[in-house]
Structure 1
Amino acid sequence: MKRTGKGLIGGAVLAAMSGIGLSLYSSRVARKAEELVPAEGRFLDVAGARLHYLDVGSGPTIVMVHGLGGQLRNFSYALVDQLKDEYRVIVVDRPGSGYSVATGATTPGIIAQGAIIADFIQKLGLDRPLFVGHSLGGAIGLAVGLDHPHLVRALALIAPLTQPLEQVPESFRGLARIPSGARLAFAQVLGTPLSRLTAKKTLEGVFAPEAVPEDFVTRGGGALSARPIAIAAAAADLAGANDDVKAMVGRYAEIGVPTRILFGRQDAILDPAWNGHRTAAVVPGAKIDTIEGGHMIPITAPEACARFVRAAFAAA
C-alpha cells in the first residue's frame, strides 16, 4: 500500500513537471513567433474585440478577412501588393488570430464575428467597402451580407466556407479533438508542442496540391498559428462553425449585395461544388469562377485573385 501510494505521488509529480515543462516550451514558441512576425499595423477597439489591422494604398476601399488559423499576412504576403496602387486595402486579424483579441465573455462565432467586422467598418468610417473573405472569412462575409448589407458594396469570396462541413478536413482534425471546456489550457500544454510536430504535414495539406512557400512561416505569418492563443481560437472557430453556417444557409436567398465566388479547382480543404456552385445557385445574382489551384490561392495565385477582386468591384 505504501509503495503504491508513493508510486501514485511520484507519477503525479512527474506528470505535473512534464506539464509545466511543456507549458514553458509553448510560451517560448509563442515569444519566438512574435519576434519573427511582429505586429505591423494599428489597433482599434470595437464591440467585442480589439482588432489589429493594416491599412495601405488609396482609392475605393477593400476590407479583407482571413480564414481558419490564419491572420492578415495571408493577404499581405502577395495579394495586397497587387491591389494597393488602385485601392485602399485594409486587412484585419480576426478575433483570436494574429494580434487581435476577443474582449467579450464568450468566443465569438461566425455571426458574431460578422457583427464585429461590421462595427470595425463603422468605427473606421468606411464608405461601403468591398468585402473580401477567404475560407472562414468568406462565411463571415456572408454573415455581414445577411445582417449588415448596408455597410458593404459587394462580397468577393475566395475559397469560402458556405455550407455545413460534412466532415472536418484532415488538416484540421487535431483542432477538432481539443476539449471545449479547456481549450487554452490544452493548447498551452499539448496543442503547441503537437502542432510543431505536425506543422509540415498540416501546411502541405492546406496548400495541396501546390507547394508551401519556403517563407510562409515569416512572410505569410504562419509562425503565429502555433501559439496557444491562436490554437485555442482556431479550435473554437471550428467547433462553432457548423451551427452558425446552418443558421445562415436558409437565408442565402435574402442576400441583396452583389456576390462573386472564386475557387481553386483542386481545393483539398473545401469542396468547390459544395461550397461554391451550390451556394452561387441560391444567392441572387451570384457568380462563380474557378481557376487552377488549391485552397491557399490568395498566396499561390495572387494575380488571378487580384483580377477576381477587380472584377467584383467593377460589377458592384
Structure 2
Amino acid sequence: MPRLRPGLLVLTIVAASLAGCAAFVEDRAATREDAAEAAYPPTGRLIEVDGHRVHAHVEGAGPDLVLIHGASGNTRDFTFDLVGRLSDDYRVIAFDRPGLGWTDNIGAQNDNPIAQAELLRKAADQLGVTRPIVLGHSYGGAVAMAWALRDPQDTAAVVLLAGATHPWPDEADLGPFYPFITSAVGRSAAVPLISAFVPESRIEDAIAGIFAPNPVPKGYMEYVGAGLTLRQDSFLANARQVNNLKPYLARMAPLYSELTLPIEIVHGARDTTVGIQYHSRKMDDQLPNAHLTILPGIGHMPHHAAPDAVLAAIDRAAQRAGRR
C-alpha cells in the first residue's frame, strides 16, 4: 500500500473533516426542513399548472380577490388575520408565490415577477376566477402589477400594500446580503448553515424588524411558518427574487401608464423596508387612476397594523371597478 506524503496526508484529513462537517450541516438542515413542513402544512389546495404545483388558499364568497404575499412570506401572512376579515364580502384566493411556501420553483424564470404572475393567473383560471381585484404586498406588488399588465381587460383593480413597483436609485440599493447569498460561495456555504443553525431568536428579531415600529401580533410568530422560508431551496429562491427584482421593475414601470384600471395604494409612513418615495409616491404621481393612502406611524405591514385602512382600500377598489 503506498504511503501518503505528510502534506498530502494533512490535505486528506482536512478534506475528510470538511466532508463530514458538510454532511452534518446537510443532515441538520434536512431535519429542520422536515420539521417545518410537518408543522406548517398547506392550508389550501395544491393545483398543477404546467407541471408545477401551486398552493391556493380559497375562502369566502363574493367578487374574486387575489392576495399575493411579499418576500420571505407565504399565504399564512394573509390567513393569520386578513382573510377572515374579507371572506364575508369576497371570495379570497391567496397564492404562495413560486419557490415559496408550498408552490414549486419554476426554474430559470422563478425570479421574474411577470412569469410568476403568469403562473398564478393560470392557477386562478383553474379556480374559475374572473375579473379579480389583485392585491400585492411588498414584493407581491410587483407581481400584482405584472398581472395587470399581462391581462388588463380581465383585471378589475389592483391594491398595493407597500408595493415594490419601481426601480430604486443606486444609493438605496439593498446592501451586500442578497448578492452574497446568491453568489457561488453564499449558495454553497452560507445558505446551508443558515438553514441548519439560525436560532429562533434571530428569526424573531427579523420579523420584529419587518413590523417595526409596530408590534408583532400575538401568535403571529407561531403561525406564519418562517421555517418554510428557511428551507435551503426557498431561502435561495427568495434571495434571488429580491436580488434580481430591480431590472424587471425598470422594464415594467414605463408600461404602467397604459393601465386605466383603478389602483389603490396603501403605504406606511414609517416603512423602512420598501421606501414610499421610490415606489408608492412614484405610482401616485405617474397614474391619474392611482389613489394613495399614507398611514402615519405605520411600518411595512399595514394589513396587520392598520387592517381597517386596508379593508377600506380594497372596498374602494371594488367600488371603483364596479365589483361591489
Do they superpose with TM above 0.5?
A: yes
Partner of 2:93: 90
Asked if 2 retains the 8 angstrom alpha-carbon contact of 1:258 and 1:286, the reply is: yes
Partner of 2:303: 298
Q: Deviations 1:207-247 (Å, cap 9, x if unpaired)?
A: 11122335223322323221112101101211220111111
**Match for 1:309: what amino acid?**
I
Asked if 2 retains the 8 angstrom alpha-carbon contact of 1:75 and 1:299, the reply is: no
Partner of 2:241: 237
- Aligned counterparts of 1:139 and 1:123: Cα–Cα separation in 2: 23
Aligned equivalent of 1:130, options 123, 129, 133: 133
Residue 185 (structure 1) shift: 4.9
Q: Identify which range, 150-159 or 178-187, moves more after superposition.
A: 178-187
From the superposition, tell whether residues 103 and 140 of structure 1 become closer, same or farther in structure 2 (CA, over 3 Å): closer
Structure 1 position 225 matched with structure 2 position 229: yes
From the superposition, tell whether residues 195 and 233 of structure 1 become closer, same or farther in structure 2 (CA, over 3 Å): farther
Partner of 1:30: 33
- Aligned counterparts of 1:40 and 1:185: Cα–Cα separation in 2: 32
| SS of equivalent residue, structure 2 residue 279 | helix
Aligned length: 314
TM-score, normalisation: structure 1: 0.91
Structure 1 position 206 matched with structure 2 position 210: yes
From the superposition, tell whether residues 95 and 48 of structure 1 become closer, same or farther in structure 2 (CA, over 3 Å): farther
| SS of equivalent residue, structure 2 residue 278 | helix
**Match for 1:210: what amino acid?**
N
Aligned equivalent of 1:155, options 146, 153, 158: 158
| SS of equivalent residue, structure 2 residue 286 | coil
Asked if 2 retains the 8 angstrom alpha-carbon contact of 1:255 and 1:284, the reply is: no
From the superposition, tell whether residues 48 and 109 of structure 1 become closer, same or farther in structure 2 (CA, over 3 Å): farther
From the superposition, tell whether residues 221 and 135 of structure 1 become closer, same or farther in structure 2 (CA, over 3 Å): same
Q: Deviations 1:105-159 (Å, cap 9, x if unpaired)?
A: 5424111112112222222221101001101111111111112112210000101
TM-score, normalisation: structure 2: 0.89
- Aligned counterparts of 2:247 and 2:50: Cα–Cα separation in 1: 22
Partner of 1:16: 19
Aligned equivalent of 1:308, options 307, 313, 318: 313
**Match for 2:193: what amino acid?**
L
Asked if 2 retains the 8 angstrom alpha-carbon contact of 1:114 and 1:140, the reply is: yes
Structure 1 position 176 matched with structure 2 position 179: yes
The root-mean-square deviation of aligned C-alpha atoms, in Å, is 2.2
- Aligned counterparts of 1:276 and 1:287: Cα–Cα separation in 2: 10
| SS of equivalent residue, structure 1 residue 273 | coil
| SS of equivalent residue, structure 2 residue 317 | helix
**Match for 2:132: what amino acid?**
P
Asked if 2 retains the 8 angstrom alpha-carbon contact of 1:176 and 1:239, the reply is: yes
Aligned equivalent of 2:74, options 54, 71, 76: 71
**Match for 2:225: what amino acid?**
G
- Aligned counterparts of 1:144 and 1:251: Cα–Cα separation in 2: 12
| SS of equivalent residue, structure 2 residue 110 | coil
- Aligned counterparts of 2:69 and 2:285: Cα–Cα separation in 1: 24
- Aligned counterparts of 2:51 and 2:252: Cα–Cα separation in 1: 21
**Match for 1:64: what amino acid?**
L
**Match for 2:48: what amino acid?**
D
Partner of 1:279: 283
| SS of equivalent residue, structure 2 residue 319 | helix
Partner of 2:57: 54
Residue 269 (structure 1) shift: 0.1
| SS of equivalent residue, structure 2 residue 244 | helix
**Match for 1:289: what amino acid?**
T
- Aligned counterparts of 1:127 and 1:275: Cα–Cα separation in 2: 28
**Match for 2:205: what amino acid?**
K
| SS of equivalent residue, structure 1 residue 192 | helix
- Aligned counterparts of 2:240 and 2:106: Cα–Cα separation in 1: 15
Asked if 1 retains the 8 angstrom alpha-carbon contact of 2:29 and 2:231, the reply is: yes
Q: Deviations 1:42-72 (Å, cap 9, x if unpaired)?
A: 0112237321011001111101000111000
| SS of equivalent residue, structure 1 residue 177 | helix
Percent identity, aligned pairs only, is: 28
| SS of equivalent residue, structure 2 residue 122 | helix
- State the structure with more CA Rg: 2
| SS of equivalent residue, structure 1 residue 157 | strand
